[in-house]
Structure 1
Amino acid sequence: MGRHAVLSASSSHRWTKCTPAARLELEFDDNESSAAAEGTAAHALAEHKLRKALKMRSKKPISPFDCDEMDEYTDAYVDFVLEQLDLAKQSCSDPLVLIEQHLDFSKYVPDGFGTGDCILISDKTLHIIDLKYGMGILVNAEHNSQMMLYSLGALEIYDSLYDINEVSMTVFQPRRDNVSTWTIPVDDLRDWAENELKLKAELAFKGEGEYCPGEWCTFCRAAVKCRARAEEKLKLAQSEFRLPPLLSDGEIEDVLGKLNDITKWANDLLAYATDAALNHGKQWSGYKIVAGRSVRKFKDEDAVAEAAKANGYKDIYRQSLITLTEFEKLMGKAKFNEVLGDLVYKPPGKPTLVPVSDKRPAINVANATNDFNEIMEDE
């Protein structure tokens, strides 16, 4: 198991905004979530496929998360990298491809290092490509501190070998149909590193500075017990949580912008308190642990089938089609479109209120509501 940086690139979104957070997080266990484990498996598979595509030796990893969906999304990642490599070859005869490259950016961040998924280096451009397998949060490449740190680390190694003028950073997030690219001149990147990053990194490494709650608290391990965050959420609840008809439009809009974080904080707090009571003997005054609702299950399906048949019950199986994705994988996309294309449709999704920053186009509210209600009534 490799060591972890106190100021990691992946957590820089937090410690550049709230500098004491990095040291505070060290007091909490880093328990890998199922989503994080799935992401790790996807990265390993994507790395293997990319190495094979580039004629490098690689052994295919095996994980409990292997499925058609992961296979499809990692294929898309490899296709994207190869497309970018072909583009680089148009202006550079010998572009360099680095996969899972160790990067050191300790010139700006104390003990700072990380690993870049894929780096393409040509005469004028350094291109960082980062696979994001998660689907919960849309990740934007613009001013993305993780990718900026990786870029600084890559420049430390290769800027003297190539005449690099600019850095492109791409977030490839296939489960959200999100490919976000941002380009910055090397001089501007280094200016940010010298005049903004260095100071924040020094404060963060010492655990100093002011606590500053915000959307960056989402994955902070210390968030559930952070007093600054709790005070902010409780203050909002006390001053603004009146019944909707008693709020002005402006107050409702203000609360809408904070709902996700408040809900996340409340759920985190409940999960933390439940874990403490269940696994660490904590007794919360006025609360108790009870058994939740459960659903009956068969112990052994083969034994159930045998017992049912022995007693004369024959009609015990259900037949169903394989999924649309499995059909597409079975036939190939071209044959799938030829044979089944006319039999596929995409029903309208449930109308959802989102911030205007969301990339999806606005819909006709009356038509969308009617279409969705008709679908629900038909099901």
Structure 2
Amino acid sequence: MPDQHALLSASGAHRWLAYPPSATLEAGLPESSSSAAEQGTAAHEFAEWKLRRALHDAPTAKPVSSWHDAETEALTDDYVAFVQELLRDVRQVCADPQVLIEQRLDFSHVVPGGFGTGDCVIIAEPLLHIIDLKYGQSVMVEAEQNPQLMLYALSALNAFGSLHDIDQVAVTIFQPSRSNISTCTISVTDLEAWAEKVVKPRAEANLVLAKHEFAPPAELGDAEIAQVLYRLPSLSAWATDAEAHALSLAVNQGKTWPGFKLVEGRSIRKYADESAVAEMAGTGGITDIYDYDHKLKTITTLEKQAGKKRFTELLGDLVVEPAGNSRSPPTTTRGPY
């Protein structure tokens, strides 16, 4: 199931670990829903119900949704079969594994206020299994270096590690719509080192930014300005990537945002054939067409030199104006992208 309202969520960790300001900026955005998200939620609820039934774990009432169809039935069956098969293998090593379904996972010991929900957690000494059902099919998701699952693993270790002798964690992405089962095994030592060296500092950076909420620079103290300057590269990189992503969505998928309009960038006129321009200019009596390093003068310069009308008559057909690059600046003009 998706994380609820944690500022530094596990599902968004790939963003806020890479770009500290992303969590703060996203927190100000209204919640949105899409058909894909609704379908994914319905599939997770159905998968949970089926898995609880299969494991005789006091099933809740069967969920009802307009999204339930033959595909949902088949893919959630695949998920349940995968978990059951994994449990059969696990019992070869641990006779009585503990299975937790849709378990709330709190990792606030490394990320203040951080939590998420683990689809399936299996505690089987000396191994801890974290299984995440990904219902969507647009993007192939891998378990290797997956921060969401690594945070879930840290949470489960914090909750159950003192009761069990765990030295490794296996994190698995089960993505049936892409026939994708991706598993990565991480030692507890490496996981805890990642938490100390990467997660905690990035979480702290996010919380500092959340505290300032982009206060006017004049209101910042010297220490705060130093913190901002230190993080400027990541802030700038994130903003650049966000703009490029928005532009790509607008150009390629027709995505629109209120207050923004896709416009064509300024184009620069060019000579289609410089040799032909030189020949035609000479024939038409336009002299002194080269600059100091013997390059054709710019179109604007020759246009002024010869007069716009004469330039157009002689050389107009040899001038091209490529389409400018699309860009999406803020605008108050009416009309979508």
- Aligned with 2:73: secondary structure? helix
The alignment's TM-score, normalised by the length of structure 2, stands at 0.67
The change in CA–CA distance for 1:227 and 1:188 in structure 2 (over 3 A counts) is closer
Q: Partner amino acid for 1:200?
A: R
The 3-state SS of whatever aligns with 1:40 is helix
> What amino acid is aligned across from residue 188 of structure 1 in structure 2?
D
In the other structure, the counterpart of 1:200 is 202
Map 1:24-173 onto structure 2 (within 5 A): 24-58=25-59, 59-173=61-175
SS of the residue 2:132 aligns to: strand
Match of 1:186 in 2: 188
1:293-320 deviation line (CA, Å, top 9, x unaligned) = xxxxxxxxxxxxxxxxxxxxxxxxxxxx
Matches of 1:103 and 1:167, distance apart in 2: 15
> Which amino acid is 2:32 matched to?
N
For this pair of structures, how many residues does the alignment match?
Answer: 245
Q: Secondary structure of 2:235's match?
A: coil
Aligned runs of 1:212-361 on 2, under 5 Å? Answer: 213=237, 226=239, 229-230=242-243, 233=244, 263-264=248-249, 266=251, 270-273=255-258, 284-285=332-333, 287-288=334-335
**Cα distance in 1 for residues equivalent to 2:241 and 2:94:** 51
Letter paired with 2:257: Y
Question: Between the two proteins, what is the percent identity of the paired residues?
Answer: 45
Asked if 1:211 corresponds to 2:235, the answer is yes
CA distance in 1, matches of 2:71, 2:254: 33
The residue that corresponds to 1:349 in the other structure is: none
Q: Secondary structure at the match of 1:114?
A: strand
Pair member with larger Rg: 2
Q: What's the RMSD between the two structures over aligned residues?
A: 2.6
Deviation at 1:87, TM superposition (A): 0.9
- 1:57 positional shift: 2.1
> Displacement of 1:56 after TM fit?
1.9
* 2:3 and 2:11 in contact (8 A); partners too: no
CA distance in 2, matches of 1:199, 1:21: 15
Partner secondary structure for residue 141 of structure 1: coil
Cα distance change of structure 1 residues 272 and 167 upon mapping to structure 2, 3 Å threshold: same
Alpha-carbon deviation of 1:3? 5.2
Checking the alignment, whether the CA contact within 8 Å between 2:24 and 2:206 is kept in structure 1 is yes
* Aligned-partner SS, 1:130: strand
How far apart, CA to CA, are the structure 2 residues paired with 1:92 and 1:152?
21
Secondary structure in 2 matching 1:70: helix
Aligned counterparts of 2:75 and 2:28: Cα–Cα separation in 1:
36
Conserved 8 A contact 1:22-1:205: no
Distance verdict in 2 for CA 1:102–1:19, change over 3 Å: same
Cα contact 2:21–2:235 (8 A) shared by 1? yes
CA 1:273–1:197 in 2, change beyond 3 Å: closer, same or farther? same
CA distance in 2, matches of 1:75, 1:89: 21
Distance (Å, rounded) in 2 between the aligned partners of 1:198 and 1:15: 12
Distance 2:28 2:66 in 1: 30
Distance in 1 of aligned mates of 2:32 and 2:246:
21
Structure 1 Cα separation of the partners of residues 21 and 101 of structure 2: 32
Q: Which runs of 5 or more residues in structure 1 are unaligned?
A: 215-225, 234-259, 277-281, 290-379
**Who is 1:15 aligned against?**
16
Q: Shift of the alpha carbon at 1:158?
A: 1.0
Cα distance between partner residues in 2 of 1:108 and 1:266: 39
In the alignment, which of 165, 174, 197 is matched to residue 176 of structure 2?
174
Give, in angstroms, the shift of residue 152 of structure 1: 0.3
Q: In the superposition, relative to structure 1, how do residues 169 and 266 fare at CA in structure 2: closer, same or farther (>3 Å)? A: same
Q: TM-score, length-normalised on structure 1?
A: 0.60
- Corresponding residue of 2:319: none
Q: Structure 1 residue 168: deviation in Å?
A: 0.3
Q: Which residue number in structure 2 is paired with residue 340 of structure 1? A: none
Q: Distance in 1 between matches of 2:133 and 2:174?
A: 5
Q: Contact 2:250–2:256 (CA<8 Å) still a contact in 1? A: no
Q: 1:213 to 1:35 in 2, by over 3 A?
A: farther
Contact 2:260 2:331 in 1 (8 A): no
User: SS at the partner of 1:211?
Assistant: helix
SS of residue in 1 equivalent to 2:96: coil
Any idea what SS the aligned residue of 1:272 has?
A: coil
SS of equivalent to 2:256:
helix
Q: CA deviation at 1:270?
A: 3.8
Instruction: Name the CA distance, whole Å, in 2 between partners of 1:158 and 1:147.
Output: 16
8 Å CA contact retained: 2:3, 2:10? no
Equivalent position amino acid for 2:155 in 1:
G
